[in-house]
Amino acid sequence: MRETRKLTERSIKALKPRTKPYKAADGEGLYIEVTPAGGKLWRLKYRFGGKEKRLSFGPWPDIGVDAAREKATEARAILRDGTDPARATRRATGDTLRTLAEQWADRQSWAPSTAKRERFLLALWLPALGDIPAPALTPMDIRPVVLGIEADGHRENARRALAQIGRVLRYAVGLGKAERDVAADLGDVLAGVQPSKYATLTKPAEIAELMKAIFAYTGDPSTCYCLRILPLVFTRPGELRNATWAEFDLDGHEPLWRIPAARMKMRREHLVPLSTQAAGLLRELHTITGTNPPGLLFPGLVPGKPISDATLGQALRRLGYGPDRIVPHGFRAMASTALNEQGHAPDIIELQLAHRDSSVRAIYNRSTRLPERRALMQSWADYLDALRTGANVVTFRRLAGAI
């Protein structure tokens, strides 16, 4: 039987990635696995309980040849004592999940609201899993953590935490710090979550009463104006709350709000043509908050921070609109439903809502269709005014549908 040639630091360095993972043996079950991403991971193949198993020692060059052989010798000694060496050594090698998760998070370009949510999710699972080396993590480590989150009544957070663990592990795989995303094995372990629609109002009479109530509200100016402008711009509440005056062009005959990509869910710059009503409200607001040092449209009580989504929700509740009737995010659904019923072009509505279009057509269609969107936004603002003031809405809706 031909003796396996022992690996050296030089020979390992010379190993090049291929389209598929491959092995370079050192002998007695110890080998280097080279991943397509260029990672070089130490593995020990052995049998326990009649089954062939693998033990990970971490990536080369973090673990050198001599260290890997020493770990393999220790593992074989444990095996001879009748114990699975995986149990004894699995928590001893490689970068920990905490280290990799922090590196992964630091590399993301999150909007402030997204960063807050992602950091919250990290805090849910890192205390339990953070000290485990990525190469040693198994689905059975992850399972009780996410099931525990679910058992506490937070099903959606459990699913998001599991998805986040998977993203961190895929980052580790790309660096050669882990073999694969073991979180993917738990795809069906959590109960399904029924997607919930944001509460909204769609009947003209209901919208009329809501708009009357909003314009009668006399609370803090930031809250008042945010409530009045939100129905007119189709954006997510956070995109409006965090807006700065530098994003607005109110001087020309076609006022425009340019939301930077960093603050958009889809990470693309988004243009919001402003109706005469929206531009008028913004000019009024500028006399109140235009000199605010951080440049925020809607400064809150905390210096340098805007009002919160909870502030808008509380204002709606004070007006008699609880979360079962409408929430701040529900103004988007209100506009979409009403405008589709009026016969406006669905493509223009979706474009103004900044919804993702993954079709092949969308890849090649980079047009902003700004004139059509501007007409849509003015039509919607006029419609809301007509409802609020009691104008002839039937005639208005018929004209609006002709766009």
At 111, which CATH number? Answer: 1.10.150.130
Question: Is 196 domain-assigned?
Answer: no
Give pLDDT tens digits for 370-385.
999 999 999 999 999 9
Residue 159: domain span: 97-186
pLDDT of residue 394: 45
Is the domain of 157 the same as that of 208?
no
- Residue 291, pLDDT > 50, answer yes
Residue ending a domain, choose from 123, 157, 186:
186
Q: Provide the percentage of residues in the chain whose pLDDT is more than 90.
A: 47
Is the domain of 157 the same as that of 249?
no
At 25, which CATH number? Answer: 3.30.160.390
Which of the residue ranges 6-10, 42-46, 150-154 would you say has the lowest mean pLDDT? 150-154
pLDDT of residue 286: 95
Question: Is 197 domain-assigned?
Answer: no
Give pLDDT tens digits for 317-346.
999 998 889 999 999 999 999 999 999 999
Is the domain of 283 the same as that of 209?
yes
Q: Provide the percentage of residues in the chain whose pLDDT is more than 70.
A: 89
Question: Is 3 domain-assigned?
Answer: no
pLDDT of residue 376: 95
Contacts of 278 (CB under 8 A, 6+ apart): 229, 232, 233, 255, 377, 381
Higher pLDDT, 334 or 267: 334
DSSP 197-231: PPP---SHHHHHHHHHHHHH--S-HHHHHHHHHHH
Taking phi over 0 as left and psi of -120 to 50 as alpha, with beta for the rest, 226 belongs to alpha
Is the domain of 148 the same as that of 182?
yes
Q: In the structure encoding, which two tokens stand for residue 119, read together? A: 């950091």
Whole-angstrom Cα distance, residue 205 to residue 388? Answer: 9
pLDDT of residue 131: 82
Give pLDDT tens digits for 151-191.
888 888 888 999 999 999 999 988 888 878 889 888 777 77
Domain count of the fold of the chain: 3
Give pLDDT tens digits for 84-96.
776 655 545 568 8
Identify the bridge partners of residue 140 per DSSP, sorted by sequence position.
Answer: none
Question: Is 194 domain-assigned?
Answer: no
Is the domain of 353 the same as that of 271?
yes
Whole-angstrom Cα distance, residue 230 to residue 115? Answer: 23
Is the domain of 156 the same as that of 263?
no
Residue ending a domain, choose from 159, 186, 213:
186
Question: Is 373 domain-assigned?
Answer: yes
Residue ending a domain, choose from 140, 156, 186:
186
- Residue 38, pLDDT > 90, answer no
Question: Is 73 domain-assigned?
Answer: yes
Give pLDDT tens digits for 118-134.
999 999 999 988 888 88
- Residue 350, pLDDT > 60, answer yes
At 269, which CATH number? Answer: 1.10.443.10
Question: Is 241 domain-assigned?
Answer: yes
Is the domain of 244 the same as that of 334?
yes
Is the domain of 104 the same as that of 78?
no
Is the domain of 27 the same as that of 102?
no
pLDDT of residue 140: 82
pLDDT of residue 6: 86
Give pLDDT tens digits for 95-108.
889 999 999 999 99
Is the domain of 263 the same as that of 346?
yes
Starting at the earlier edge strand, list the strands of the sheet with 40-48: 22-27, 30-34, 40-48, 51-59
Which of the residue ranges 44-48, 313-317, 365-369, 399-403 would you say has the lowest mean pLDDT? 399-403
Q: How many CB atoms lie within 10 A of CB 81?
A: 8
Higher pLDDT, 298 or 294: 298
Is the domain of 233 the same as that of 347?
yes
Q: Looking at residues 225-247, what average pLDDT do you find?
A: 94
Is the domain of 280 the same as that of 316?
yes
